[in-house]
Amino acid sequence: MTKINQALQKWPVGAVVTQAWLDSAGLSSRAAGKNAARGNLLRLGGGAYARPGDRLTWEGGVAGLQYDESPPDLSFWPGGLTALHLAGYSHYLMLGRERLYLFGQPGRRLAKWFSSRDWGVDLQVSQATVVQPDGRLFVPYSPPGRDYQIHISCPEMAILEWLHVLPNELLFSDSVVDTFNGLVNLRPKRLQALLQACRSIRLKRVFLLLARCSGHAWYAHLDKTHLDLGKGKRQLIPGGKLDNEFLITVPERFTHGD
């Protein structure tokens, strides 16, 4: 059996692979180029290849991005609302074209073969530091009908990422509140660790206020004395009322009095 046939047999269906994967399968870059010219491989660019005839989705592209990486040192990963949706926590049907929320480490460059391809989604990339690198937490995800896994944000980190990228005026919208109301099974130990590794004062205050309003049991297990919530008042919603516990101005129905 030829090396190309051996590689194609090992190839995870629907996954993009990099030259590093092909090297491990015994196919050199020169051989990969020749097979792409013959139509045995589909070259996406930058040392990334797909198997001809496979239906490519963004999940398969992420599999290529994450090859030879392991948590927590991932360059890019699906997070925020995308990860919540994959975990079953999104309470609104996605109308129209899906949006892929991809998070990445500051300073890392997203491969051109990924960013320039139309994966059938609107790509939104954020490289803001929501959680310190060694504090990030991921879970494996296998797309339906596929035999490969990608790493996505755990639900506890995903909700923080989603809030982080939302503008202030949307932080207390119905979609956020309804999603929070569905976060019944979050793990307080994970949340505690992530909040302690979170660098954004705004984000921590908003999350805790929304968590308090949701009334979930896990909120009572968070130790706020170990969280740096900064000092002073902060205005989030112009014309809003000050919440006396977290010192942010929010819509009146979210406030907590003395």
Domain ranges for the chain: 3-50, 68-227
Packing angle of the helix pair 29-38, 3-10 (nearest 10 deg): 90
> 258 pLDDT exceeds 50?
no
**pLDDT-based confidence at 89, cuts 50/70/90?**
confident
Supply the pLDDT for residue 128: 86
Q: Are 142 and 113 in contact (CB under 8 A)?
A: no
**pLDDT-based confidence at 224, cuts 50/70/90?**
very high
> 91 pLDDT exceeds 80?
no
Q: Are 22 and 7 in contact (CB under 8 A)?
A: yes
pLDDT digits (tens, 9 = 90+) for 158-175: 999 999 999 999 999 998
